[in-house]
Amino acid sequence: MALFTMKLENLEQLFLQELRDLYDAEDQITDALPKMIEAAHHPDLKDALQEHLDVTRTQIQRLDQIFTILGEDASGQTCKGMKGVIKEGDEIISQGGENATVDAGIISAAQRVEHYEMAGYGTVRTYAELLGQQQIASLLQQTLDEEKQADEKLTEIARSVNIEAKAA
């Protein structure tokens, strides 16, 4: 029986399960971001989303490095939470509408993604620290910092986009 379908007997098992969940979440995000980039209108939003797509690919490489350190396989877990968050974003995009309002919705959806990731990465970073995995904790902290930076950038862009959406 695979680890992620077994009872969680210890923190190590939970740690691996959560890492696999984040790995799948990042894969889902790399599939979703190009659609968001295409649907976005504001040039700063398009740029921020493209930049985060590039960063997300690096984050996947970092997770690959973590799984190599642990001697474990990264696949096998489906992140149902991210599926739901991305589905909500897809619904906003598919509704269409006034450009600034659609962009405001894309920012909202993207920030939900970022907040979900920040919660996950903060948790696994803490688990890594508790398990004495300082190198892994450091790698996870790098990703957590990147997620926070992406969220801050989206907040900055939202300041002007939301005003435009309100005026529409």
- How far is it, in rounded angstroms, from Cα 83 to Cα 56? 16
DSSP 97: -
Share of the chain above pLDDT 90, in %: 92
Q: How far is CA 61 from CA 48, 55, 117, 164, in A?
A: 20, 10, 16, 37
Give pLDDT tens digits for 21-78: 999 999 999 999 999 999 999 999 999 999 999 999 999 999 999 999 999 999 888 9
- CA–CA distance, 48 with 56 (Å, rounded to integer): 12
Res. 2 pLDDT band, cuts 50 70 90: very low
Alpha carbons 72 and 64: distance in angstroms, whole number: 10
Dihedral sign for Cα 151, 81, 32, 121, please.
positive
What percent of the chain is modeled with pLDDT above 70?
96
CA-CA distances (angstroms) from residue 37 to 34, 47, 150? Answer: 5, 8, 14
pLDDT-based confidence at 5, cuts 50/70/90? low
Average pLDDT estimate for 121-139 = 98
Query: Could you give all domains of the chain from N- to C-terminal order, each with its CATH number?
Result: 11-167 (1.20.1260.10)
Q: How far apart are CA 59 and CA 30, in angstroms?
A: 11
Query: What does pLDDT average to over the chain?
Result: 95
